[in-house]
Amino acid sequence: MELAYIPSPSRGVLYLGPIPLRGYAFCIIIGVFVAVWLGNKRWVARGGRPGTVADIAVWAVPFGLVGGRLYHVITDYELYFSPGRNWVDAFKVWEGGLGIWGAIALGAVGAWIGARRMGVALPAYADAVAPGIAFAQAIGRWGNWFNQELYGHETHLPWALHITSSEGGRVPGYYHPTFLYESLWCVGVGFLVIWADRRFKLGHGRAFALYVAAYCTGRAWIEYMRVDDAHHILGLRLNVWTAVLVFLLAVAYLVFSARHRPGREAVVEQGASDDAGDGDGESEGKDDAKADVTKAEKAEKAEPEPESGAEPEPETDPDSAPEAEAGVKDTADSGKKG
């Protein structure tokens, strides 16, 4: 009897009346929200407008879901189009089967369309959302736990995954929880990208390339542990070759971009900095006007005010002063004579 293991859920779906609530779908949805939330914070910190990440995600997410499903169906076509299979099952995304390679590839197409409509450069957007995508993958992998799928070789380690379902050719037992390994790896990748972006000021798509390269490194050895059916080329699973190829492309882009486009973009979204500048100018103008009013009030207070009841002294014309003095003198003389 095993004293410690990771239990599998008794079922991956709950029903709220006639509405099915599937754990796999919830994990995907939560992952998307986390990616958009973190991507928005990073985008604003780099000078972009709030909400731009979500607006582009409206294009990227549907494209990514379609791309992820297409990759899975094409690479595992025998699950849907071989004798005895129902091709309609190819549309049942909630039952699992989303290839990250297709999701990122076609999701990038959707992001490019959204970024073009928003007037945003795609590499800058990709850098902002890169760690969020890694965290979204970490959350999404728990959907495989709900479906009791994508586990590794049999093991009796304390953290072994207990598979209880016998559907789809599964054999109940204790296996390596490769879904957990990949989830933890993706968390590490997300923090690695955040650290490297702060430390080296990555720009022009290099933060995204680092995410891709780091993810592929872990995916290669985790994929090698899995025991689910897959196509093999020269003794290796198809996804292992895909990880190696994508890793090489990501590293090549990192080197090429660092040489030809060093540094980080000064402006990630046209007009965002202008809006901020207009707001500052208005504030400064108000402050200047307030200062002028204050100075005027002080000047008015500084002027001496006449005492109450005192008559103002008459103004003396400088030209009439000699005549006045002469008149006084004549009067004095006439007084003496009299």
**pLDDT tens sequence across 20-61:** 878 999 999 999 999 999 999 999 999 999 999 999 999 999
State the DSSP H helix or E strand holding residue 187, giving kind and residue range, or none if neither.
helix 178-200
Q: Is residue 10 very low, low, confident or very high in pLDDT (cuts 50, 70, 90)?
A: confident
pLDDT at 98: 87
List pLDDT tens digits, range 210-261: 999 999 999 999 998 998 888 899 999 999 999 999 999 999 999 999 999 9
Least confident of 23-32, 40-49, 76-85, 292-301: 292-301
Q: Which residue did the predictor score with more confidence, 92 or 214?
A: 214
CA distance 140 to 179: 9
- Burial class from Cβ neighbours inside 10 Å (0-12, 13-18, 19+) for residue 111 reads buried
Inter-residue contact 50 to 40 (CB < 8 Å): yes
Inter-residue contact 243 to 220 (CB < 8 Å): yes
pLDDT at 107: 96
Mean pLDDT of the chain: 83
CA 323 to chain centre: 90
pLDDT at 287 over 80: no
Tokens representing residue 45 in the block = 């910190």
pLDDT at 243: 96
**DSSP string of 4-21, one letter each residue:** S-EEPPS-SEEEETTEEE
pLDDT at 8 over 60: yes
pLDDT at 230: 87
CA distance 237 to 157: 25
Q: Which residue did the predictor score with more confidence, 331 or 71?
A: 71
Look at residue 173 and give its three-state secondary structure.
strand
Pairing assessment for the beta strands 6-7 and 161-163 based on DSSP bridges = parallel
Tokens representing residue 249 in the block = 């492309």
pLDDT at 110 over 70: yes
pLDDT at 308 over 50: no
Q: Which residue did the predictor score with more confidence, 293 or 158?
A: 158
pLDDT at 300: 53
Percentage with pLDDT > 70 across the chain? 80
pLDDT at 83: 87
Q: Which residue did the predictor score with more confidence, 141 or 96?
A: 141
What b/e readout covers 68-79, taking b as 16+ CB neighbours within 10 angstroms?
bbbbbbebbeee
Least confident of 25-34, 118-127, 311-320: 311-320
pLDDT at 279 over 80: no
